[in-house]
Amino acid sequence: MQASRKQTSDYQTRIIKELDHCPDSKQRDWSEFEEGLMRKYYQKKGARAIGKTLERSTTSVHNKAQNMGLCGRRK
């Protein structure tokens, strides 16, 4: 059984209202400065220290390092 146009419209309106009331994402882009710090310090200091300094999660820092090709042995 197909949904009528009204049901589809009501559904869409409800979904849009729900999303409008959700908090915005806290995600923020990495600046060139932060990427430079990652290149310089990631292998020496690690994700925890950099994350604390840049106010980012350890997971976020580690994922960024992987994407930048920085993962490997610490020096």
- Average pLDDT rounded to a whole number, residues 9-21: 89
Residue 75 has pLDDT above 80, yes or no: no
Residue 7 has pLDDT above 90, yes or no: no
pLDDT of residue 26: 81
Rg (CA), the chain: 21
The domain segmentation of the chain, as residue ranges, is: 30-75
pLDDT single digits (tens) 20-67: 999 888 888 999 999 999 999 999 999 999 999 999 999 999 999 999
Contact of 39 with 68, CB cutoff 8 Å: yes
**Burial per residue of 55-69, b for 16 or more beta-carbon CB atoms within 10 angstroms, e otherwise:** ebeeebbbebbeeee
pLDDT of residue 8: 81
